[in-house]
Amino acid sequence: MSGGGDELRLVIRESSPTPVYEQIRAQIEGMVKVGALRDGDKLPSVRQLAGDLRLAPGTVAKAYAELAERGVIETAPGRAARIRRVATIPEPLLQAAQTYAEQSHRLGATFEDALNALRAQWRG
C-alpha cells in the first residue's frame, strides 16, 4: 500500500466454507468501502501477498482478477495493482454497524451468528 509502509492485513479462515480467493476479494473490497484503502493505494504484488498468506499465487491472482472485474482495482502487466475510486459506505451506516458489532460481542455472539441474525432481519 502506498505511503507509510502499511501492511495489508487479511484474515483467512481455512475452516470457512467460503473459498480463500473470495475471502481475499471480500476483505479488500470491504476495506475500500469503509475507507481503509483509498483511491491510488498500491496493493502488494500477487507473489508478495501469496507469500505473506502462505497461499498459492493463483489464489491471490484470482482474487485480484475479480476485484479488477468489479472495478475495485486497476491492474496492468508489470505494474502494481492499485485501488480505484470507489464509493465508500456512508458514515451513519458504519456507525450503526459498529453499534451492532459491539452489542453482538457483549451478547457473546460469533461473527457468523451476528451475520445470520442480520440476514434474518433483512428485507429487500
The three cell numbers of residue 122 are: 433483512
**How far from 25 is each of 5, 69, 105, CA to CA, in Å?**
21, 11, 25
**How high is the pLDDT of residue 124?**
64
Q: In CATH, which of 3.20.20.100, 3.40.50.920, 2.40.160.40, 1.10.10.10 is domain 20-83?
A: 1.10.10.10
pLDDT digits (tens, 9 = 90+) for 43-52: 999 999 999 9
pLDDT of 2 above 70: no
**How high is the pLDDT of residue 86?**
80
pLDDT of 4 above 80: no
pLDDT digits (tens, 9 = 90+) for 21-78: 999 999 999 999 998 999 999 999 999 999 999 999 999 999 999 999 999 999 988 8
Closest CA to 43 of 95, 7, 88: 7
Query: Where do the structural domains in the chain lie, given as residue ranges?
Result: 20-83, 91-121
